[in-house]
Structure 1
Amino acid sequence: MMFRETIYALSSGALPSAVAVIRLSGPHVREALTRIVGFVPEPRQLVLATMRNSSGEQIDRGFVSYFAAPASFTGEDAAELDSHGGKAVVAALLKELSSIAGLRPADPGEFARRAYLNGKFDLTGAEALGDLIEAETEGQRRFAVANTGGRTAALYQGWRERIIHTRAMIEAELDFADEGDIPESIGSTVLSSVTELRQEILSHIEGYSTAEILREGFQVALIGPPNAGKSSLLNALVKRDVAIVSDEPGTTRDLVVVNLDLGGMKIVLTDTAGIREGAGKVEQQGVERARHAAGSAHLVLRLQDITAPPSFGLKDEYTDEIVVLTKIDLDERVSVGDPPDPGHLAVSAKTGEGLDALLALLQERATKATGATGGFVPFRERHLVHLREAERLLGEFSAARNLGLELQAELLRGASLALGRIIGDVDVEDLLDVIFSRFCVGK
């Protein structure tokens, strides 16, 4: 696509910095380079040049590179100005660019959006690029890189082509049944292939929970009665004071959420209000939030003060929970290696005993929950919606053999469109603002 305006933005992050990179893309790039550095470098070469304003005054001296269309990130003429990263230097360069006719500041994600519209990558590749930029852990980075390779798009495109081929066979029987070279009852021969494809999609859908954990983190909720040591344990695990610790019951009334990076896995720890009977109205709201957080967590750590009697306010049971005995430094009878119950963990937030074992357990559970994905699972809820739609339509096709060839072909058309919407081949214009607005300015 040809855009009339040339966009520019600081692409290298916050100032001041050692180097600042200003990126340009659009039809006026050559004009802008001639105006600022006096010439257009040979494509794909890094050249040392003096950058000047319209009065000929030197702004800075740095490197300039030019990328001729279509061999650039956006597919348009593009350039980068590498200057010193001082605030005044960058401000002067951006001011000079703004004075050139046809140039304007880029919107968030506009470079990536132009790259997508010019066929540099498909919509899933754009979303994976956004995930790569937002990656906080090594596991998230690897997952995003795997998805930027185009394998996911190739899978969906391959499924779509199989559906289109099946639809073509049915329409051939419908339109040319009287032709001698068209076999009779073609529609009945494609049922097995559609059933096989539907099963492939169902298996693929099952992997979304894995992708959700990789992208959003393995959710761990700390629950227990008041003064069980939840906030103290949270502070000890993250090695800083993120939650208020007090002997007064009901101190924690809202959720306190922090992230851990364990072996490249993102672990999301949620400290919750103490659960007890007879809580007041305000405290009861915290209790309800605690129960909700525990109900949606992948793992629940049920904390119990080793020096206190068992609590009778914790009647909820969760699918995956571990009892953690706290404050073992106050009870000489209990040690990390000898808890009262072999299925329990014993820790001390004060001395650090048992924390390494707890962290190792969290990492083990998170790794087990994700398994070996290879990045080949749906990684956005948007994908999941369209995959389920395609699977539903293929299921209706398989179950409705008496609907007639016309309706069978229509069901297949709907399934192919659903897959096409994932990779951006059809009807996605309304999604572009949502997807690319999440990118930073300059990307």
Structure 2
Amino acid sequence: MPPAAIAVVRVSGPRAGAALRALAGRVPATRRASLAELSDAAGAPLDRALMLWFPGPATATGEDLAELHLHGGRAVVAAVEAALAALPGLRRAEAGEFTRRAFLNGRIDLAEAEGLADLLAAETESQRVQALGMASGHVSRAVEGWQARLLTLMAGAEAELNFGDEEDVQLLDDCAHRLCDGMELLASELGAWLARPGAEVIAEGLSVVIAGPPNAGKSTLINALAQRELAIVSPVAGTTRDVIETPLALDGIAMRFSDTAGLRSESADAIETIGIDRAKAAVQAADILLWLGNPHDAPDHPRAILIAAQADRWRGDAAAEAVAARCDLTLSAATGEGMERLHRMIVDMARTLLPREGEAALRQRQRAALADAKDWLTVDAGSREASDLILLAERLRLAALALDRITGRAGVEDMLDTLFGRFCIGK
């Protein structure tokens, strides 16, 4: 948004060339920046700017495209926009309209558009890498490969149905067996993709919950992690009564850290009881649990880090030292002891929940479509369908339609309105 050093105004569509002629008196050489004096319809000067001309269809939107690189002051941009709006056939773009036109004109598919939306919203390194892979067509290329294999299987089924010898039962059985083998192999590959972490984990951040008994140092720890006074610290048991959440990024990984009410069997009042119930629910939903308390009392969680907290208070106490020996980490958020090691442990555990380098993660919509395709490709070897070419061909057709939903080639109008509304006007 202005003010800025440079502002780019883009015009897409059949009137793009006319817009350049109206403001600059000419259309420059294709794909070459040209300096121009811009004027409105009355001849009043607007700006001295660079203009570029990109004839369709080999453009970002698939249409004729013009760009004006202006000085980035608000008054300059407003004057040029007003001059363009006064020209016949031009109007201000809606949010996401340039990207939507690129999709409708076949320049990108829906998965790439979703990746671009995520790239614009990326705030951490892991979000940037994941979104860039999606926008660059990682998922789309995988879908194209699956679709090509499906087409091969479908062609084999149709050829046998249309041209095979109907009296040769053995030949039909052999064809059905080959189809089932191919479907099983493809379903297995789709299942491997579905087993990967979802893209929402990267976009929304991993949930890291700090839990333990009252006065265990939970609030002090989240304050130390956030490097600000996020939670109230008090020696009074039950001070924290609700889940306090803060977004943090560790080593480029988005996380949501939550401080919770102290867990104990008897609470002081009804309000604290509600807080304890919410704390238990947060522990259940946590991707990573930081437990500050006796390891014997720790909830059963697949990714728990057992922390002997407040080490500055119990050093030299034999009983406390014995409990600490059973923990994964000794820590003092007040003095900083163990904080660096905790940082490394959280990051190492978080990486096991994220896609490996080079792997693409699927969004919930894409996972649902892929799961449908896998279900249509899964056939019980002993069922009637396994030997019926017509039913197998129908399953292949339905699997192909499910994959089409990932790239946006069928039934996506409502989805488009939701998706492209996330973009800014300039995209």
Using structure 1 for the length normalisation, give the TM-score: 0.86
| Mapped pair 1:25 → 2:8 | no
| Mapped pair 1:83 → 2:65 | no
Q: 1:371 to 1:390 in 2, by over 3 A?
A: closer
CA distance in 1, matches of 2:227, 2:359: 32
Q: 1:347 aligns with which of 331, 343, 361?
A: 331
Match of 2:126 in 1: 139
How far the C-alpha of 1:330 sits from its partner, in A, is 2.8
Q: Quote the sequence identity (%).
A: 40
Match of 1:289 in 2: 278
Using structure 2 for the length normalisation, give the TM-score: 0.89
Match of 2:241 in 1: 253
Q: Does the 8 Å contact 1:225/1:275 carry over to 2? A: yes
CA distance in 2, matches of 1:38, 1:399: 74
Q: Deviations over 1:43-87 (max 9, x none)?
A: 211222222233222222222222111122111111222222222
1:322 counterpart SS class = strand
Q: Does the 8 Å contact 1:339/1:346 carry over to 2? A: no
CA distance in 2, matches of 1:217, 1:399: 44
How far the C-alpha of 1:151 sits from its partner, in A, is 3.2
1:103 counterpart SS class = coil
Alignment of 1:105-254 (within 5 A): 105-178=92-165, 184-185=171-172, 186-209=175-198, 211-254=199-242
Q: Deviations over 1:91-111 (max 9, x none)?
A: 222222222222222222111
Q: 1:65 to 1:301 in 2, by over 3 A?
A: same
CA distance in 2, matches of 1:233, 1:94: 51
How far the C-alpha of 1:288 sits from its partner, in A, is 2.3
Match of 1:49 in 2: 36
Structure 1 residue ranges without an equivalent (≥5):
1-13, 305-309
How far the C-alpha of 1:220 sits from its partner, in A, is 0.7
Structure 2 residue ranges without an equivalent (≥5):
none
Q: 1:382 aligns with which of 344, 350, 365?
A: 365
Match of 1:3 in 2: none
CA distance in 2, matches of 1:181, 1:129: 53
State the one-letter code of the partner of 1:116.
F
Match of 1:395 in 2: 378
Alignment RMSD (CA, Å): 2.8
Q: Is the deviation greater in 281-290 or in 121-130?
A: 281-290
How far the C-alpha of 1:384 sits from its partner, in A, is 0.8
State the one-letter code of the partner of 1:35.
A
Q: Is the deviation greater in 37-46 or in 211-220?
A: 211-220
State the one-letter code of the partner of 1:235.
N
How far the C-alpha of 1:358 sits from its partner, in A, is 1.1
Q: 1:179 to 1:246 in 2, by over 3 A?
A: same
How far the C-alpha of 1:398 sits from its partner, in A, is 4.7
How far the C-alpha of 1:172 sits from its partner, in A, is 2.7
CA distance in 1, matches of 2:249, 2:268: 35
How far the C-alpha of 1:397 sits from its partner, in A, is 6.5
Q: Does the 8 Å contact 1:21/1:80 carry over to 2? A: yes
How far the C-alpha of 1:289 sits from its partner, in A, is 2.2
How many pairs align? Answer: 421
| Mapped pair 1:69 → 2:76 | no
Match of 1:9 in 2: none
| Mapped pair 1:416 → 2:400 | yes
How far the C-alpha of 1:254 sits from its partner, in A, is 3.3
CA distance in 2, matches of 1:283, 1:342: 29
Q: 1:83 to 1:317 in 2, by over 3 A?
A: same
Match of 2:89 in 1: 102
Q: Deviations over 1:277-332 (max 9, x none)?
A: 2253333332222222221111101123xxxxx699x6743222122233322334
State the one-letter code of the partner of 1:88.
A
Q: Deviations over 1:167-202 (max 9, x none)?
A: 332233333334899992122332211111111111
| Mapped pair 1:436 → 2:420 | yes
1:410 counterpart SS class = helix
